[in-house]
Amino acid sequence: MNKIGILHYSAPPIIGGVESVIGHHARLFSAAGHPVRILAGRGTPDMPAVEYAEIPLLDSRHPDVLKIKAGLDRGSVPPGFSDLIRKIKEQLLEHLQWCDILTAHNVCSLNKNLALTAALMEIAAQRTGPKLVVWHHDLAWTSARYRDELHEGYPWSLLKTAWPGVSRRVVVSQLRRRELASLVGLEESEIQVIPNGIEVGEFLKLGEEALQIIRSLDILQAAPLLLQPVRITRRKNLELSLRSLAFLKQDFPAARLLVTGPLGAHNPANLEYFGELTALRSQLGLEGSVHFMVEESPKTLPDETIADLYRVADGLLLTSQEEGFGIPILEAGLAGLPVFCTDIPSLRELAGETAYSFSPGEDPRKVAKLISTRLKSDGVTLMRQKVRQSYTWEGIFREHLRPLLQSLQ
């Protein structure tokens, strides 16, 4: 496994967008088995299995760095600039001997610590250190807020130069790719886009049991995810759900259905019914698309886990033939989910005109069309699916970070 160094001015728990990103990168690289060392001037990250090397002169707020920066901002190179470069270079080299790969975040494109920028450029030009990946979140030369601090010539020119000795150039968006290519005179194809991500479980405050379900079933790849929090009994009419999902997948190939309840407790015939449902699932080719939680765990899911699943779902589906009440309708209302349910008295009483309703004996093609039409027109749902599929940190690692490391072998 490659030993990976991650370089920035500061590290978690310092609050900042880049600090958050390098924290997630460190966690993901480490979880994949890579030894990781964060190199920063400030911060004390508390991350199991991740080393931290504090090098004070890397900090953009170090007094010596700020003193030099004041002169640079006025357009002059202070006498102590070369000495500061030498000190930073010496301290960096001590740690870079350990690294196989170094990812340097923003230090090659911002003027927060130009002595660090110059030291790293000199190391890269020597081509004797680790493979260098320069990671551009921001570009000083394309931003109006830095314009008064930038001047022609060295060292400011380092921020708009395609350095020698760089293994990969990474930006966080297509916008940054276009800007960087124009700034340093490269083809866009020479620059890789790796977006930032979001930690779904952390953001949504999901419990461990829900997270285990999400991981084991790869639920975040569903688009859409329909939730059916009911027991498995005939009156729930689950065969309509399965048949409707089969047609829905014609418009949404990644559609999934999650049935959270156990078998009904008071009728032995429910076991036979469940066998019919699993046979129908197989017949319809839905083995990877319809998930019965009774198959995943012998125990009934607690209310807090069900609530967590509402937070990642895209819609509530209820196909019951008869109900005395309909608590899931209320839960979906609080969770902000669209409700697709049968037009029976109890559910009509609760949902009224707010639900997308259909007969318990409806043609599953029409149920699928009802769901498809609603979800295709809802920007909130489509954005939720986009985030789940393309912008979770686990997805970022799988689709971008791991291939990047493999390309550096």
- In order of 25, 58, 111, 149, the CA distances from 79 in angstroms are 37, 19, 18, 18
CA distance 393 to 397: 6
Take residue 13 and report the two structure tokens written for it: 């728990």
DSSP string, 253-311: TB-EEEE---B-TT-THHHHHHHHHHHHHHHTT-TTTEEEHHHH-SSPPPHHHHHHHHH
Among the listed residues 331, 330, 361, the one whose alpha carbon sits nearest the alpha carbon of residue 344:
361
Residues of the chain with pLDDT under 50: none
Residue 357: phi, psi to the nearest 5? -110, 160
**Helix (H) and strand (E) counts for the chain?**
17, 13
Q: What is the pLDDT of residue 269?
A: 80
For 49, the 3-state DSSP assignment is coil
- In order of 155, 255, 270, the CA distances from 341 in angstroms are 65, 17, 22
Among the listed residues 81, 72, 187, 242, the one whose alpha carbon sits nearest the alpha carbon of residue 140:
72
Q: What is the pLDDT of residue 139?
A: 98
Among the listed residues 226, 236, 215, the one whose alpha carbon sits nearest the alpha carbon of residue 258:
226
CA distance 29 to 50: 9
Are 34 and 65 contacting, i.e. CB atoms less than 8 angstroms apart? no
Residues in Cβ contact with 288 at an 8 Å cutoff, skipping those fewer than 6 apart: none
Alpha-carbon torsion angle 122, 128, 130, 133, nearest 10: 50
Kind of pairing between the strands at 290-292 and 101-105: unpaired
Q: How do residues 6-47 score in pLDDT, each as one tens digit?
A: 999 999 999 999 999 999 999 999 999 999 999 999 998 889
Take residue 379 and report the two structure tokens written for it: 């920007």
- Starting at the edge strand found earlier in the chain, the sheet holding 356-358 runs 290-292, 256-259, 225-228, 315-318, 339-342, 356-358
Structure letter (DSSP) for residue 314 = S
Are 141 and 104 contacting, i.e. CB atoms less than 8 angstroms apart? no
Return the bridge partners of 316, or none. Answer: 227, 339
Residue 63 burial (10 A CB sphere; 0-12, 13-18, 19+)? exposed
Q: What is the pLDDT of residue 297?
A: 80
Instruction: Supply the Cα-derived Rg of the chain in whole angstroms.
Output: 27
CA distance 409 to 404: 9
CA distance 155 to 111: 9
Q: How do residues 240-271 score in pLDDT, each as one tens digit?
A: 999 999 999 999 999 999 999 998 766 778 88
* N- to C-terminal Cα separation, the chain: 10
CA distance 37 to 40: 10
Structure letter (DSSP) for residue 341 = E
Kind of pairing between the strands at 315-318 and 225-228: parallel
Q: What is the pLDDT of residue 266?
A: 65
Q: What is the pLDDT of residue 28?
A: 97
Work out the number of other CB atoms within 10 angstroms of the CB of residue 386.
11
Helix spans in 318-401 (H): 327-335, 345-351, 364-376, 379-390, 393-396
Q: What is the pTM of this model?
A: 0.89
Let me know the angle formed at the C-alpha of 11 by 204 and 16, rounded to the nearest 5 degrees: 55
Among the listed residues 219, 227, 224, the one whose alpha carbon sits nearest the alpha carbon of residue 254:
224
Sign of the dihedral defined by the CA atoms of residues 31, 32, 35, 40, in that order? negative
Kind of pairing between the strands at 339-342 and 131-136: unpaired
Q: How do residues 62-96 score in pLDDT, each as one tens digit?
A: 999 999 999 999 999 999 999 999 999 999 999 99
